[in-house]
Amino acid sequence: MPALTPAQVQQFHEDGYLIVEDLFDPAADLDPIIEEYQGVLNTLADELFARGEIASTYAELPFGSRLTQIYAESGKVHAQYFDFSLPQANVQPDTPMWVGPAVFRMLRNQRLLDAVESLIGPEIYSNPVQHVRLKPPEHLTPTNDDGRAQLGKTPVHQDNGVVTPEADDSEILTVWFPLNDVTVKNGCLCVWPGSHRQGLLDHCPSPIGLKIPGKLLGGAKAMPVPLKRGGALFMHKLTVHASYSNNSDEVRWSFDLRYNPIGQATGRSAFPGFVARSASNPESELHDPAQWADLWVQARHHLATEGMGAFNRWSVDNPVCA
């Protein structure tokens, strides 16, 4: 796909978000990721079966049904097993993660980087605040002791709010896209148009993650963003957004990526990013998926042995959280 049009760039800056339909070729760009994750699920199923935590590997089931069955029977959501990032606390030498080549190739997808370049320029750094989200139907998801789904809707927040203050001056861009069609019923995102002009709002720690108190939203209404497979949502780092609960019977599957200009702070310095594109110094670009995976292995070792610092700035003692 060519670079974004001037009208699209203007819309992004005015509204704080931009929907780009058909950014990806589903067969060429998304199917290799799905195939790679089939192998990840195979490994997880084999491990749980060997430990007696599930009665079968359920290899005959399609991916989404199999994932849902394995989560339900084991009584646990194994989200970290699939994620290409690390948790914000208690990293161990064997903390699971998935940093496979198909994921890396998506981080460097040329259509994606062309669009990113239109918004932040040609010196592009892959910010390590990144996730895969495999959200099973909420009514089939294991619950915590309080009856809350272990993996449910994402609370109202800004992406600037979930990183450290060192990135407040960084031009971080979020790219969110589904690997299957997303609707309100299965838990698509919603955005608050123009909310990026309010600046950074206070966030409060909660059992489901950092969230903006409703009283700070001033009565503004959210706009749902359903997307077809192949489409993408670009968001300013200050755009207020959330996700709906997955009230369907299928897994909602999405990638959540971020990019910023080279040399700017990522807001999560303990995690490794890399140069995805550089017009001024192409030799600095990382092209080897094995090198990228090794960066994450090294980061995991460091965090497990040296400890972890703060990952965000917020306190439950903030009066606005009362």
pLDDT at position 1, please?
43
pLDDT at position 38, please?
97
Residue 235 backbone dihedrals phi, psi, to 5 degrees? -135, 140
Does 251 reside within a domain?
yes
Does 191 reside within a domain?
yes
DSSP string, 270-304: TS--EEEEESS-GGG----HHHHHHHHHHHHHHHH
Does 135 reside within a domain?
yes
Does 117 reside within a domain?
yes
Cβ pair 266, 58 in contact under 8 A: no
- What whole-number distance in Å separates Cα of residue 19 and Cα of residue 4? 11
Q: How many domains does the chain have?
A: 1
Please, what is the average pLDDT of the chain? Answer: 96
Residues 89-116: pLDDT tens digits? 999 999 999 999 999 999 999 999 999 9
Does 175 reside within a domain?
yes
Of the pLDDT bands very low, low, confident and very high (cuts 50, 70, 90), residue 307 is confident
Query: Which range of residues forms the domain containing residue 106?
Result: 6-25+100-294
**Whole-number percent of the chain with pLDDT over 90:** 94
Does 106 reside within a domain?
yes
pLDDT at position 308, please?
83
Does 125 reside within a domain?
yes
Say which range, 14-18, 105-109, 219-223, 240-244, has the weakest mean pLDDT: 219-223
pLDDT average, residue stretch 172-197: 98
pLDDT at position 311, please?
87
Residue indicated by tokens 């890396």: 104
* pLDDT for residue 2 is more than 60: no
pLDDT average, residue stretch 13-40: 98
Does 133 reside within a domain?
yes
- What whole-number distance in Å separates Cα of residue 79 and Cα of residue 95? 12
Q: Residue 234 maps to which CATH number?
A: 2.60.120.620
- What whole-number distance in Å separates Cα of residue 36 and Cα of residue 217? 40
Helices 110-120, 6-15: axis angle to 10 degrees equals: 70
Residues 198-222: pLDDT tens digits? 999 999 999 889 999 999 998 889 9
Give the chain's length.
322
Q: Would you say the pTM of this structure is higher than 0.85?
A: yes
